[in-house]
Structure formats: structure tokens, C-alpha cells
């Protein structure tokens, strides 16, 4: 351990939940430390125009997050580079270690680590990640104008990706493992009514093939007919769900089967007193910047109340 | 009834919850109608600088709400002037009547009617509302650094206000009408242990006095000694409770004892299917613009899903 310091409140994560918690807790003079994580600013840093942040008709995702980061800093929040690699939540003060070998003690903790899009885990995926393989249509769609793309998934996100990509290209195929889509009816309808979007049901991508630099083909297996086919594509958008970034905490606090951290009723407190959670790491359902921000505010107010009642 | 119209989604209220619900539902092409109520824009219209809306270091409350209103309109929301005076939620479509004698039918309803802080009802209070008179220490406390403030009330909120304000100033007096505090013991203790917070029992504020622009004094009457005293102050925080604006719905949907509308677990749905609630009318605890906005987003997404699944 190179250095150590102690704080009343440590916040893990710097997306809308973490930074809103930082704004509120800094304004309450709790002098929070915010560990920014592997993706400072969170998932919105990988987006372009955000059109549903209330009050801003259109704002770039990175700009919104930069504004939040500066706001929290203005209020007194301090930022820690790097990621948390270990925690000890068995007693207060909680112990936190980062990958920069810094060590912290905190009287209260807010976990706002977000969620990570799931991967296919098939051959070629890692090799061509960022070279034809993407999990963000909004981020990368414009790179595929008039090119051939596939979308993997059948839920809301997959349908949203398909509708979005249809702005750029009419060579779109949705690959879905089940025999029916699971997206909401209105989102399904927009895709099904689109004459240029093909859907392959009961199918999955079993290999991603390229020329060493860039994706050129995918191998798709149809479970029903037990046949495989090689399809020429330029891009693959994976929309098969998210994994909450809670692995580090699973042995310490209660999570559900999918790994989402469980909050107490009408509170953001976790199963450990003094540890609060907010944002996509607790929310499989809504996952919006504004809902995460609201949750981050709640966590800060809950942490403040906890510290008021439990500080020696 | 002068006119009638029908809509898929009717939103009652135009604070952060109602307008965020409007942004999200309009973007989902639900063409929401938003009844603005007696205070279009909600409680923030009565504030000055808002310093805890994430991403904006400081923004005037009315400006933030105007931006949200324009955002929702840009997305396709339509506004209805006036207030709702009667509803029939016994079957779908729901029936809604306004004080402008308009009649509406809606397949889904979002209630975002907010809450009304209880007032002192003394001379000067209305004149200096938002100009020294506040009902939110978390929102406005930082504006009173090293200034002289009084807090009216003796319950949990009043104690939290006092503790919070003590971060900024040591010129704090609590004015309480009874001879003992009613707050929880731990919250009381922190205030009582604080050498810089004075408490005046059996006292009430009978007049708020200012220079035309800003509060300068209050007149305080002590019932026990039957004496009055003028005290120089910069700010008055009224913490004598809120009344959720739910009276109209009490016979139709489940509310708690205090009148707050009850949401289903992990949802914004009320006890009536297709009726959702968001913001201060459901939330006695956090009551922030950002938490209400997050809740409004959730209500819109819940309503969209409901309509997708239940529209003939």
C-alpha cells in the first residue's frame, strides 16, 4: 500500500448515480471521495446525443457527464483514479483498496458501479471487439452506413438497436435465440413492420470471423434445423442484456440471482448497515440516467442520515 | 362540459415528476396530455437558485422547470391549463374533469400532484416566500453561510434542518410551539448537544418582516410568558410538515395515513391497475427535484409497458 486515507463517505463509481451522490454528499459537507472506476463517467461516455435528460432537448452523453463531474468537484467532491479491487465491509470503518495500491477507510460507502453489457463468449469476439463487434448501436451506428450489420438479441435493446441502425443501413439482420421476440409490443412492431430488417429466430452466433483487422463474417447456427451458415457482415451489435458490476461485493452484501444488489424497502441501504447502493447495479428494469441520478441522490441522503446517527 | 377528448396517457401535475414522465412518454409516442395544475412547474417555481440539479452548478428553479416544459413539448407532450377537480378510476378508460369544465378519457394515468409544505399563515410569509422563507434546508442551506437563520418546527425535519444548517452557520435558532421536541431521540440529541443551536420553546413566529426584497426580522411570540420579541434573521426554514396533494384520489386508490399514495413494490403503479404515481405525492422522505424526475421517468416507462400490454 503506497498511501492511505480516511473519509466519512466513499463512493465507488462515477456515472449519473455516483456523481449525483457526490453532488449531494459534498453539499452536505461529507467531503466524499469518488473512485472513478475503469470507465470514468460511466456508460453515457460511450454515447452520442442524449435526448431524454429532462431539461436538455439534446446533449452529448460525455458533455452531460463532464458537467456532472465538474458540478460535484465544485461542491467539494474529490476524485480517485483507478478501480476498487477489494473491500472489507465486516466492520466500520470499511476498508477499500484500489488497483493503484491506495488504501482507504470510510465510515459509509455508496456502491454505484453500474452494469456491463453481456458478451457472446464465442470464438473471434474478443479479437474483433471494437473492430466490428459493438454493444452500443447509438455510439457506433454511424460507422456502418450502407454496410451489412447483425444485431444479436430479441429484447427491448435489440429492437431499439435495429430501429436506430435502420437510419444508416437497410442491410440489417436480427439473430435471436428464441422463436419469439421478448421486446415490448410497440418496439417489436416497429421492427417487424420494417421491410428492410430480417429476423432469424432460434439462431445464435457461434463464431465471429474476420481478416485479422476487421469482422467479415459470422457463423450462425439455427437450433431448430441444426444447420449452420456463414453470413458476410461488417458489424455485429450485441444486445443480450447486462451484468451488474457487483462481483466484488457478492460475498459481503445480499444480491439477487442475477447479481443485482438488493436495497432495503424504501431505502438505498444494502444488507450491510452503512453501505448503500444506487443506479444500474441495483436496477434491472429502468436503467436510465435520470433514474440512476435520482437513486444516487437518495443514497447520499440515506448515507448522510446514517452518518448523523452513527458517527462516534 | 364544454369539450371532451381522449388520450392514451393523462398526466396530472407539471413539476419534475410530471414533466419527466411527459418527456419519456412523448418520446415513446404516447402523445401525453399534461394537466398543469394550480402551480405550473410545481414547487421549484417558488425557489431561486437550485444548486443540486446534477450537471448545473446553479440554475434558477423557474428556468429549470421552463426548460423541462419546453423539452416535453418538443417531444410532443400537450399541456392542459387548470386543475383536475374529479376523477372516475373505477374502469378504463379513466374519466377526468378539470376546473375549466373539460372532460377527458385516458387509458392510463400518472398522478404527479406533489405535496404542499404547510405554512405558518402569518403576515409577511407570502411576500417573502423564496426571498428568505424556505421549506427546504437541503436546497437552500448553502445560501446562508455564516448568516442568521431560524427553523420553525420540533419534529424530525426541523432537527435535520438544524443539523444540516449547522454546517454553514452557527447562528441558528429553532422556534417550536410546544414545550418539548417531537423529533426522534437521536435527531434531538444532535441538536441539543450542539452548543450553537438555540431553541425557543412554547414560541411561534407571528410575523415575517423584511425590507421589501428580503427577510430581515421575525416577530416571535412566547405563549408561556405571553411576550413578543423581534429577532434579526436572514432566513426562515419552515419545517412543520407537508400535505401530499392526494385528496382527490383518496376514495379511489390506496394512500397511507398521512395521505401519501402507495406504490406497488418495485413499480410506480398504485392500487388501481393503469394508474401510476410519482414524485412528492408518494415520497415523504427524499422530496428532491432529481428524485421526483427519476420517479416520473419510471412512471412513464411503467405506463408505456402497461399500455403495450393492455391496449385493445
Convert the pLDDT of each residue in A220-233 to its tens digit. Answer: 999 999 999 999 99
Could B293 and A290 be called an inter-chain contact, meaning their C-beta atoms sit closer than 8 Å? yes
Compare all CA atoms of chain A with the CA of B22 and give the residue at the minimum distance: A54
> For position B218, which CATH number holds?
3.50.50.60
Beta bridge partners of B205: B220
Last residue of a domain, one of B183, B218, B238: B238
Indicate the residue of A51, A184, A291 with minimum beta-carbon distance to B308. Answer: A184
Label residue B231 exposed, middle or buried (CB < 10 Å: 0-12, 13-18, 19+). middle
Q: Per the residue annotation, which of B136, B255, B281, B297 is the catalytic one? A: B136
Share of chain B above pLDDT 70, in %: 98
Q: How confident is the model at residue A2, as a pLDDT? A: 59
Last residue of a domain, one of A238, A267, A292: A238
CA A168 vs CA A142, A171, A195, B85: distances in Å:
6, 9, 15, 48
- Locus of grid cell 452500443: A136
Q: How confident is the model at residue B12, as a pLDDT? A: 98
Q: Are residues B257 and B231 in the same domain?
A: no
Q: Which residues of B touch A301 (CB under 8 A)?
A: 138, 285-286, 288
Indicate the residue of A27, A286, A293 with minimum beta-carbon distance to B290. Answer: A293
Provide the shortest C-alpha distance from residue A301 to chain B (in Å): 7
Q: Are residues B246 and B106 in the same domain?
A: yes
- Locus of grid cell 452506413: A145
Q: How confident is the model at residue A4 (pLDDT cuts 50, 70, 90)?
A: confident
Is A139 designated active site? yes
Q: Are residues B16 and B101 in the same domain?
A: yes
Q: Which residues of B touch A29 (CB under 8 A)?
A: 167
Q: How confident is the model at residue B3 (pLDDT cuts 50, 70, 90)?
A: low
Q: Are residues B48 and B110 in the same domain?
A: yes
* Cα B27–chain centre separation: 26
Q: How confident is the model at residue B312, as a pLDDT? A: 58
Q: Are residues A9 and A110 in the same domain?
A: yes
Radius of gyration of chain B (CA): 21
Q: Check pLDDT > 90 for residue B137.
A: no
Q: Per the omega criterion (within 30 degrees of 0), is the bond before A132 cis?
A: no
Q: Are residues B278 and B129 in the same domain?
A: no
Compare all CA atoms of chain A with the CA of B279 and give the residue at the minimum distance: A294
Q: How confident is the model at residue A1, as a pLDDT? A: 52
Q: Are residues B88 and B179 in the same domain?
A: no
Is A136 designated active site? yes
Could B57 and A70 be called an inter-chain contact, meaning their C-beta atoms sit closer than 8 Å? yes
Q: How confident is the model at residue B245, as a pLDDT? A: 97
* Segments forming the whole domain that contains residue A63: 3-116+242-310
Last residue of a domain, one of B216, B238, B260: B238
Q: What share of chain A is helix, strand, coil (3-state, %, to 5)?
A: 30, 30, 40
pLDDT per position as a tens digit, B290-310: 999 999 999 999 998 898 778
CB-based contacts of A226: which residues, under 8 Å, 6+ apart?
A: none
Q: What is the mean pLDDT of residues A252-258?
A: 96
Report the complex ipTM: 0.86
Q: Which residues of A touch B266 (CB under 8 A)?
A: 285
Q: Are residues B256 and B108 in the same domain?
A: yes
In this structure, the strands spanning A59-60 and A49-50 are antiparallel
Could B54 and A16 be called an inter-chain contact, meaning their C-beta atoms sit closer than 8 Å? yes
A238 is written with which cell numbers? 450485441
CB-based contacts of B248: which residues, under 8 Å, 6+ apart?
A: B84, B85, B86, B87, B113
Could B293 and A54 be called an inter-chain contact, meaning their C-beta atoms sit closer than 8 Å? yes
Closest by CA position to B175, among listed B146, B145, B148, B138? B148
Q: Check pLDDT > 60 for residue B1.
A: no
Q: How confident is the model at residue A285, as a pLDDT? A: 87
What average pLDDT does the structure give for chain B?
A: 93
Q: How confident is the model at residue A44, as a pLDDT? A: 86
Top residue of B13, B19, B41, B55 to mutate, by most chain A CBs within 10 Å, is B55
Per the structure, the count of domains in chain A is: 2
pTM: 0.86
Provide the shortest C-alpha distance from residue B69 to chain A (in Å): 8
Q: Are residues A111 and A176 in the same domain?
A: no
Q: How confident is the model at residue A195, as a pLDDT? A: 87
pLDDT per position as a tens digit, A154-195: 998 899 889 889 888 989 999 999 999 998 777 888 899 888
Q: What is the mean pLDDT of residues A218-247?
A: 96
Q: Are residues B213 and B293 in the same domain?
A: no
B75 is written with which cell numbers? 417531444
Q: Are residues B104 and B134 in the same domain?
A: no
pLDDT per position as a tens digit, B249-285: 999 999 999 999 999 998 999 999 999 999 999 999 9
Buried b (16+ CB within 10 A) or exposed e, B120-130: bebebbeebbe
Q: Check pLDDT > 90 for residue B48.
A: no
Q: Per the residue annotation, which of B140, B234, B283, B295 is the catalytic one? A: B140
Label residue B210 exposed, middle or buried (CB < 10 Å: 0-12, 13-18, 19+). middle
Q: Are residues B30 and B102 in the same domain?
A: yes
A214 phi/psi in degrees, rounded to 5 = -150, 150
Asked whether B232 and B216 are in contact (CB, 8 A), the reply is yes
Amino acid at each position: 500500500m503506497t498511501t492511505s486515507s480516511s473519509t466519512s463517505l466513499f463512493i465507488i463509481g462515477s456515472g449519473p448515480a455516483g456523481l449525483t451522490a457526490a453532488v449531494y454528499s459534498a453539499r452536505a459537507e461529507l467531503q466524499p471521495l469518488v473512485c472513478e472506476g475503469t470507465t470514468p463517467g460511466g456508460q453515457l461516455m460511450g454515447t452520442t446525443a442524449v435526448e431524454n435528460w429532462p431539461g436538455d432537448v439534446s446533449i452529448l452523453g460525455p458533455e452531460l457527464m463532464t458537467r456532472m463531474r465538474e458540478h460535484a468537484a465544485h461542491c467539494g467532491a474529490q476524485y480517485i483514479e483507478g478501480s476498487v479491487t477489494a473491500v472489507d465491509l465486516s466492520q466500520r470503518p470499511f476498508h477499500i483498496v484500489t488497483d493503484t495500491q491506495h488504501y482507504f477507510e470510510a465510515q459509509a460507502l455508496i456502491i454505484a458501479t453500474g452494469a456491463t453489457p453481456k458478451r457472446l463468449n464465442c470464438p473471434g469476439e474478443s479479437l474483433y471487439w471494437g473492430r466490428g463487434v459493438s454493444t452500443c448501436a447509438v455510439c457506433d451506428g454511424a460507422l456502418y452506413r450502407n454496410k451489412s450489420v447483425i444485431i444479436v438479441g430479441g429484447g427491448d435493446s435489440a429492437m431499439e438497436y435495429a430501429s436506430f441502425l435502420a437510419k444508416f443501413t437497410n442491410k440489417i439482420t436480427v439473430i435471436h435465440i428464441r422463436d419469439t421476440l421478448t421486446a415490448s409490443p410497440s418496439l417489436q412492431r416497429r421492427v417487424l413492420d420494417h421491410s428492410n430488417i430480417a429476423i432469424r429466430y432460434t439462431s445464435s452466433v457461434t463464431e465471429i470471423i474476420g481478416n485479422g483487422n476487421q469482422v467479415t463474417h459470422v457463423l450462425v447456427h439455427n437450433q431448430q434445423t441444426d444447420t449452420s451458415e456463414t453470413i458476410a457482415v461488417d458489424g455485429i451489435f450485441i444486445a443480450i442484456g447486462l451484468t451488474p458490476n457487483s462481483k466484488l461485493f457478492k460475498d459481503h452484501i445480499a444480491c439477487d440471482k442475477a447479481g443485482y444488489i438488493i436495497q432495503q424497502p424504501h431505502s438505498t441501504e444494502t444488507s450491510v448497515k452503512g453501505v448503500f447502493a444506487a443506479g444500474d447495479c441495483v436496477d434491472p428494469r429502468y436503467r436510465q440516467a435520470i433514474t440512476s441520478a435520482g437513486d444516487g441522490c437518495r443514497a447520499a441522503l440515506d448515507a448522510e442520515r446514517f452518518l448523523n446517527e452513527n458517527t462516534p
